[in-house]
Amino acid sequence: MATIRCDEHGASHEAFVCKHLVYGKYLGFFCDLDDRHNPFPDAWCNNCELIRIEYDGWTDATEELMEIALVCGGCYEEIRDKNLRGNESSSTMQ
């Protein structure tokens, strides 16, 4: 996991999220929980989850349909908090 520099949070671990999450609020928050050692697993919104389900997982085609943003760990936590809807229960959600 690489370190990046954020104007707001300083040096922090890198994280990747869909751009919808960066600018949205209460969009849902899905993430890849396969790597338990990554405190900031790749994350995406409800609409991107629907795309993932429709295409039966992540592929080159699905990744072209969504835009990925690089954020720091501090921004990731803020993004997660503002997009959780309060009653998610999927194993891929936090």
pLDDT band at 89 (very low <50, low <70, confident <90, very high): very low
Structure tokens at 64: 């072209």
Structure tokens at 12: 């922090």
Average pLDDT of the chain to the nearest whole number: 88
The tens digit of pLDDT for each residue in 36-54 reads: 889 999 999 999 999 999 9
CA-closest candidate to residue 22, choices 39, 43, 47: 43
Q: β-strand 3-6 against 10-18: which pairing, if any?
A: antiparallel
pLDDT of 86 higher than 70: no
CA-closest candidate to residue 77, choices 94, 57, 59: 94
